[in-house]
């Protein structure tokens, strides 16, 4: 068993790290405070090849693996969790289902520009009355005589919403069939009747955007049905497995970013004539933070590795473990980082309060951590 990242994985991690430090770090505080999503930053990731990491070259990708996606997301999240989220949604929630379930025509038309960073992706599943209970949604897709579908309804909390050119949308084609009555569609920005509603004002991840998507008699061609009619719920659940690996990587990066700041501060802050790192209470707190980060790392990397193994039938439990554990320790580590900074940690003059605000959502989206417990326990029966 080799715990060392491959040369390709290390190169991708360095590429993402350099990008984050040079391009994201100088403006991350200002973008967070002003709640500004800078689309050009994600576009630059595309130019570097970071938006096409796991896809084949014929599909516009670089032919790497999902561990490479995880380490890239982790490195970006160390500096800017908001842009890491935009990257994760684009790659895991929009590009992945097209790669997995799309036709060759759909891959050529949609996956290739997504992988090359020429278009931005989004994912529309959650509704005002259908969060965890995804089948309780009211968005419908009515099949027309000419084979097209007419979508009506709305989606909420959509990362990249309003900016994305391509959105994977889930709608009921036959409510009477339950899980087999949901279908998935590729919907393009600018389609008549497709508009955007409320922009969310949030506690954290303020430098990326979440918007309501509104569908009023939106006609989608039959060629944009993703998978088969009635496969939408299966597609959504399988997509969320990959998304949870991405959230785990994001949470890991958030924890590391806050931890690195706390270690630096503990070595520089002088109290009682010596750095506070010399105080056992602080040193032991930091030791526990490091322990949590390293154990989370291997949960995330293992899930990402299993995601790319052709002989693995399911990585759902691994994805849930990675997502739940990494997000929980991210909340704990960022809270402790604020504590290490003392009163200064509570101010916006220092970055640890932002990491703490950003960490919270990782316990909530792409399946709350209580849902992850349900999934994990289901494998124990």
Q: Which of 89, 119, 149 is the last residue before a domain boundary?
A: 119
Same domain, 187 and 311: no
The whole-model pTM stands at: 0.97
Given the residues 88, 231, 256, 366, the one annotated as active site: 366
Same domain, 110 and 131: no
**Number of domains forming the structure of the chain:** 3
Give the CATH number of the domain where residue 277 resides. Answer: 1.20.140.10
Same domain, 241 and 362: yes
Give the CATH number of the domain where residue 81 resides. Answer: 1.10.540.10
pLDDT at 1 exceeding the cut of 80: no
Same domain, 236 and 99: no
For the question of residue 366 being annotated catalytic, the response is yes
pLDDT tens digits for 29-52?
999 999 999 999 999 999 999 999
Q: Which of 119, 134, 157 is the last residue before a domain boundary?
A: 119
pLDDT bracket for residue 69 (50, 70, 90): very high
Same domain, 62 and 91: yes
Q: Write out the chain in H/E/C secondary structure.
A: CCCCCCHHHHHHHHHHHHHHHHHHCCCHHHHHHHCCCCHHHHHHHHHCCHHHCCCCHHHCCCCCCHHHHHHHHHHHHHHCHHHHHHHHHHHHHHHHHHHHHCCHHHHHHHHHHHHCCCCCEEEECCECCECCCHHHCCCEEEECCCCCEEEEEEEEEEECCCCCCEEEEEEECCHHHHHHHEEEEEEECCCCCEEEEEECCCCCCCCCCEEEEEEEEEEECHHHEECCCCCHHHHHHHHHHHHHHHHHHHHHHHHHHHHHHHHHHHHHCEECCEEHHHCHHHHHHHHHHHHHHHHHHHHHHHHHHHHCCCCCCCCHHHHHHHHHHHHHHHHHHHHHHHHHHHHHHHCCCCCHHHHHHHHHHHHCCCCCHHHHHHHHHHCCC
Same domain, 102 and 166: no
Structure tokens at 271: 């109290």
Tell me the residue range of the domain where 299 lies: 231-377
pLDDT tens digits for 285-343?
999 999 999 999 999 999 999 999 988 888 999 999 999 999 999 999 999 999 999 99
pLDDT at 132 exceeding the cut of 90: no
Same domain, 341 and 369: yes
Same domain, 158 and 282: no
Same domain, 106 and 136: no
Same domain, 113 and 25: yes
Q: Which of 186, 215, 230 is the last residue before a domain boundary?
A: 230
Same domain, 305 and 352: yes
Give the CATH number of the domain where residue 206 resides. Answer: 2.40.110.10
Same domain, 249 and 364: yes
């Amino acid at each position: 068993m080799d715990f060392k990242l491959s040369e390709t994985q290390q190169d991708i991690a360095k590429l993402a790290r350099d990008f984050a430090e040079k391009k994201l770090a100088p403006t991350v505080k200002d973008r967070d405070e002003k709640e500004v999503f800078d689309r050009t930053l994600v576009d630059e990731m595309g130019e570097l090849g970071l938006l096409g990491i796991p896809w084949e070259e014929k599909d516009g990708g670089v032919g790497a693996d999902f561990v490479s996606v995880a380490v890239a997301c982790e490195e970006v999240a160390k500096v800017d969790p908001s842009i890491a989220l935009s990257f994760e949604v684009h790659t895991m929630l929009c590009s992945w289902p097209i790669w997995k379930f799309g036709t060759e025509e759909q891959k050529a038309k949609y996956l290739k520009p997504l992988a090359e960073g020429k278009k931005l992706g989004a994912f529309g599943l959650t509704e005002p009355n259908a969060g965890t209970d995804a089948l309780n949604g009211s968005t419908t897709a009515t099949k027309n005589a000419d084979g097209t579908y007419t979508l009506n309804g709305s989606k909420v909390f959509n990362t990249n919403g309003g900016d994305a050119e391509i959105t994977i949308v889930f709608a009921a084609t036959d409510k009477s069939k339950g899980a087999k009555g949901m279908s998935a569609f590729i919907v393009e920005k600018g389609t008549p009747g497709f508009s955007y509603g409320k922009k969310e004002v949030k506690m954290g991840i303020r430098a990326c955007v979440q918007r309501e998507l509104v569908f009023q008699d939106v006609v989608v061609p039959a060629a944009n049905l993703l998978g088969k009619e009635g496969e939408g719920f299966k597609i959504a659940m399988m997509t969320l497995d990959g998304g949870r690996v991405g959230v785990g990587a994001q949470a890991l990066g958030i924890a590391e970013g806050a931890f690195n700041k706390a270690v630096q501060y503990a070595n520089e802050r002088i109290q009682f004539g010596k750095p506070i790192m010399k105080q056992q209470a602080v040193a032991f707190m930091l030791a526990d933070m490091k322990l949590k980060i390293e154990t989370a790392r291997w949960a995330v990397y293992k899930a990402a590795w299993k995601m790319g193994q052709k002989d693995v039938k399911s990585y759902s439990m691994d994805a849930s473990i990675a997502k739940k554990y990494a997000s929980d320790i991210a909340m704990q580590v960022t809270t402790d980082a604020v504590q290490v900074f003392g009163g200064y940690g509570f101010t916006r003059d220092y970055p640890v309060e932002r990491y703490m605000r950003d960490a919270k959502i990782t316990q909530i989206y792409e399946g709350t951590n209580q849902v992850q417990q349900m999934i994990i326990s289901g494998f124990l029966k």
